[in-house]
A and B are shown apart, each in its own frame.
Chain A
């Protein structure tokens, strides 16, 4: 199975700053089938990005995804108060689909 490693584990930033989250795969992700999710405490994850770089319906354009092969990045251009949460990457190109361990974006 493909193992996804996210870094850093925690990112401490202030509102208005730029956040850059990394997701590295143990082998190439087929067709760049890589998604990003946001999860807030007590809530289900929410799909942000799919296909490595396509925003899901209703997702603000401050969220962007990039990358291919084994290295992927989620960028939040300017953090809003509601963006402080845990972010997970997921690959769905190979079975079993797998998730990274998460990156927590916290208020500095």
Chain B
């Protein structure tokens, strides 16, 4: 059974960089797409971007200038960096495995609050 777990700071100051890591267990990362998705408190879901196991990426244009997703398949991990954060970036951040038919495995999510 594939499992994903997000980790990283729960509090980030405005203008700083949000950094999260997703650790994948129970399966290989190879030949899959791995995504980050976020959900502001009480609101809907927003796709941030994905990385393929070989390293190619695709980002949401609304965040593209501030987002970097990277992968380390030797550690079974992929990571998210979001620069110049504001209060609008406060959200639960999920990592997920993306198939051709949708997101089939998700992490439990981690709340990141942007506040001084």
Q: Footprint of B on A, CB under 8 Å?
A: 1, 33, 35, 37, 43-47, 50-51, 54, 56-57, 88, 90, 92, 95-102
Contact = CB atoms under 8 A, between A and B. Distances in A.
A97 B45 CA distance: 11
A96 B47 contact: yes
Contacts of B45: 45, 88, 90, 99
B44 A35 contact: no
B103 A45 contact: yes
Contacts of B46: 99
Given A45-B45, A92-B102, A96-B61, 14 more contacts: A33-B101, A35-B102, A37-B102, A44-B106, A45-B94, A47-B104, A50-B101, A54-B101, A88-B44, A88-B45, A90-B103, A96-B47, A100-B44, A101-B44
Interface string B79-96: 000000000000000101
A90 B102 contact: yes
A54 to B, nearest CB: 7
A1 B96 CA distance: 21
Interface in B64-116: 94, 96, 101-104, 106-109
A96 to B, nearest CB: 4
Given A44-B107, A44-B108, A95-B58, A50 B47 contact: no
Interface of B: 44-47, 58, 60-62, 94, 96, 101-104, 106-109
Contact of B101 (A35, A43, A95, A99): A35
Nearest to B47: A97
26 contacts: A33-B101, A35-B101, A35-B103, A37-B102, A43-B108, A44-B94, A44-B106, A44-B109, A45-B94, A45-B103, A46-B106, A47-B102, A50-B102, A54-B101, A56-B102, A56-B104, A57-B104, A88-B45, A90-B45, A90-B103, A92-B101, A92-B102, A96-B47, A96-B62, A99-B45, A101-B44
A2 to B, nearest CB: 12
Contacts of B44: 88, 99-102
